[in-house]
Structure 1
Amino acid sequence: MRLIPDSLIKKEKDDNLMFESSRESRIKDFKFGIKSALPIILGYLPIGTAYGILAVNKGIKPVYAVFMSVFVFAGSSQLVALEMIASNAAILAIVAMTFLVNLRHVLLSASLSLHLKNLPSFWYPILGFFITDEAFAVAMAEFDNVDHKKEYYLALGIFSYLGWVFSSAFGAFLSEFINFKSGGALDFVLPAMFIVLLLIQISGRKDLFVAFTAAVLSLFFAVGIGGSWNIILAAGLAALLGVYMDGGE
């Protein structure tokens, strides 16, 4: 009977220890991703609830409002699309505006890809679906503190996503039991949200000038051509102006 060499036995034990250590490290980073998602979830609760209430208030069935959160998962573009749907905007205009609002995700994806290298190709669309401004900011701040970035970001994205879907569903189905249409406050929720988002983004005179130009152009196109293309045209031209001003410095 031939005995197994002690060196092979030792190597197998070492490999098992390394596998267990790696597994524990991955689980640790996954749990850390869940913990990092908690502040994002708390921030999503009021906005997602407001989105669900607004959707039903605009005449969209609760289940469809939830499906939008399930399949789109982009709060700002969902709110824009919601308002355009309620105003009977053309489908092409809604798609174009959603594309413009989410165009920044191309840059976010490119930046994240530098930290998520050498993954099987099927992981990239999965992780890309969970990209949001909040998840991106948290991940970029914490990537240096984790060994397994994929597991960390996957947990961060999944639980942030579940928080958004849950809050959307809560607001949508809450509207089935409580009549929010009687008050006019909801009509100001969407504009107020975007005003806050705009103010957060403004960091200097140049940003203020571009924002003011976009507002003037939107009003001009709304009066001049009508329809629902004024926002798209104004946003596109204002973005070009911003790029030109950046290039000129």
Structure 2
Amino acid sequence: MSTVLQQSKTTHTKANRSKEMKEGFLASVPLIIGYLPVAFTFGLIAKQADIDVLNTLSFSALVYAGASQFMGLSMYLAGVSFLQIYIATFILNFRNFVMSLSFNHQFKTLPFWHRVYLSITLTDENFAVTTLGKKSSSASYSSIYLITLHTIAYCTWISGTILGVVFSKLIPKIISESMGISLYAMFIGLLTPAIRTNWRACLIVVVSMLLNFILSSFLSQGWSLILSSIFASLLAIGLMKGDHKE
């Protein structure tokens, strides 16, 4: 009798595991659709900029941040020093500290090493999926669901980079060069909804652009970007506080 109960329990556990993996995969589908073209573009541009395959793949595997990768690549091609690139990407990705803390607080019941892996593979998109998902509460998410979601997104990003590297020689140069505007299109797509509904966000964007334009006239591209980002972030702290009070 005990053997039958154990077998039934094992079967039930496997069924739940399969269900959670399936739900994690379905939740990752929008991320797959969004990640592939952007990662493909990064791999394409990096390879055609004569960055070797190992460094290109390491960039995606270790940095794993779309905007930072494009920014770092453009700064590198512009001859900006590595120190300036490190500082600029650190500032751009500083929000990940906040997201990771929030994520770990929401899922503090999960095993420690699971949370470590999930924090490392955390992005804006999968954070939004888990925070704004259809499940009723954070407790509804299991490790299997979250690990499946994060792993598929991570593998998709690396796979897209690989595809970009592979097809870099097959795509005509005039087309590949035009794909470089994908970063600007991505930024515009992210900024437009916020700007249309929040005048403070619009003001922050305008101020940061003006600061970068002014500072770039007597500073290097790297330092002008870093300083304008810092000043715009400080402005955002004050303005967004007023936004929440309303």
1:184 CA drift (Å): 4.8
Distance across 1 between alignment mates of 2:63 and 2:205: 26
Identify the match of residue 174 of structure 1 among 167, 187, 206. Answer: 167
Q: Is the 8 A contact 1:34 1:159 kept in 2?
A: yes
Distance across 2 between alignment mates of 1:126 and 1:35: 20
Q: Is the 8 A contact 2:103 2:119 kept in 1?
A: no
SS of corresponding position for 2:39: helix
What corresponds to 2:26 in structure 1?
35
Q: Which runs of 5+ in 1 are unaligned?
A: 1-8
What corresponds to 2:119 in structure 1?
128
Q: Deviations over 1:28-65 (max 9, x none)?
A: 11221012111210111211111111212333123321
What corresponds to 1:108 in structure 2?
99
Q: Deviations over 1:113-168 (max 9, x none)?
A: 23322333222221112211111111221443884521111000101111111111
SS of corresponding position for 1:114: helix
CA RMSD across the alignment = 2.4
Distance across 2 between alignment mates of 1:73 and 1:81: 12
SS of corresponding position for 1:131: coil
1:224 aligns with 2:224: no
Distance across 2 between alignment mates of 1:58 and 1:190: 16
Distance across 1 between alignment mates of 2:85 and 2:111: 34
SS of corresponding position for 1:229: helix
CA gap of 1:186–1:15, structure 2 versus 1, over 3 A, is closer
Q: What is the letter of the counterpart of residue 142 of structure 2?
A: K
Distance across 2 between alignment mates of 1:138 and 1:247: 25
CA gap of 1:247–1:36, structure 2 versus 1, over 3 A, is closer
CA gap of 1:189–1:118, structure 2 versus 1, over 3 A, is closer
1:157 aligns with 2:155: no
1:210 aligns with 2:204: yes
Q: Is the 8 A contact 1:97 1:232 kept in 2?
A: yes
Give the structure-1-normalised TM-score: 0.86
Distance across 1 between alignment mates of 2:192 and 2:103: 26
Identify the match of residue 25 of structure 1 among 13, 16, 19. Answer: 16
Aligned length: 240
What corresponds to 1:243 in structure 2?
237
Q: What is the letter of the counterpart of residue 136 of structure 2?
A: D
Q: What is the letter of the counterpart of residue 150 of structure 2?
A: G
Distance across 2 between alignment mates of 1:193 and 1:100: 19
1:188 aligns with 2:181: yes
Q: Which runs of 5+ in 2 are unaligned?
A: none
Which is richer in helix?
2
